[in-house]
Amino acid sequence: MFAASMRTLISPSLAPFSLHLPKPALFSSLLRVSRYPLTDSAFALSRFPVDSHRSTVSSRELKTDAASKSFSSFSAPGEIHVVVGPMFSGKTTTLLRRMLAEREMGKKIAIIKSDKDTRYCVESIVSHDGEKFPCWAIPDLASFRERFGLDAYENQLDVIGIDEAQFFGDLYEFCREAADKEGKTVIVAGLDGDYLRRRFGSVLDIIPIADTVTKLTSRCEVCGKRASFTLRKTEERETELIGGAEVYMPVCRSHYVSGQGVLETARAVLGSSQQNAAQRTM
């Protein structure tokens, strides 16, 4: 009797619950909806899943298109080429030939030199061989953009040549910005060392950011061998002493080291030349 009473107490509570259980199909639909519980569109996505392959391709196409647009608006970096050597090694001649070659390829060019160099012509660079080309003679490189014209500099200039680069204190900053940020090709020519074989100006500073470096040599005026150094004939001590063959001579290592004898020879040659010149004017 006790067992029967227990069945009576339990059955009424279980029976209604079992009658209201959802059917399997309905229950599975509810599970799908519960994964996207917020909107009708989420429900639609659950019923009609997106083609994952097509979605990936479209995403890639969008990314590629955006990247190509970004790349097209980016200015490609330029280049820096450095030509160094002693006096009378052909640095200016090499610079001129490379600049003219760039112009023949359709590039717009401009050549800069320091206004300190007035040996041959103020508004032209002139090699020791007599080659000549118009240039911008300026005190510093920072002023070149404005003098050339900002719009013309940005849109019409491709290649910049810098002669006697050792006289520009802002050489490194100008070359780095012109090549890295403005897409210009910069060709630099200058002395890598002074008459004491010490660094001269900022020319050596740009070698780490240069694409190419060319070291030229001359002929020793004493023995005719390859000359890598510049010897000053006069007694002046300042680093910046602008002059030509009357002040400097290219020499090999041997005759640079034995410089006293070379200086005596050079002074004798210089004195003889001056004496001959004086006699011709009499």
What residues are labeled active site?
164
The region that residue 106 occupies, defined by phi over 0 for left and psi between -120 and 50 for alpha, beta otherwise, is left
Q: Are 119 and 125 in contact (CB under 8 A)?
A: no
Q: Residues near 198 by Cβ (< 8 Å), separated by ≥ 6?
A: none
Q: Taking the CA of residue 269 as centre, how many other CA atoms within 13 Å lie in the half-sphere pointing to its CB? A: 15
The structure tokens listed for 75 are 């200015």
CA dist., res. 95 & res. 246, Å (int) = 23
Residue 36's CB: how many other CB atoms inside 10 A? 15
CA dist., res. 47 & res. 32, Å (int) = 8
* Sign of the four-CA dihedral 192, 197, 200, 206: positive
Length in residues, the chain: 282
Closest by CA to 110, choosing from 120, 122, 129, 124, is 124
**Alpha helices, H only, 105-170:** 144-148, 150-156
Q: Are 167 and 201 in contact (CB under 8 A)?
A: yes
Instruction: Enumerate helices (H) and strands (E) in the chain, giving the number of each.
Output: 10, 12
Cα(first)–Cα(last) distance of the chain, in Å? Answer: 158
Q: Residues near 254 by Cβ (< 8 Å), separated by ≥ 6?
A: 223, 225
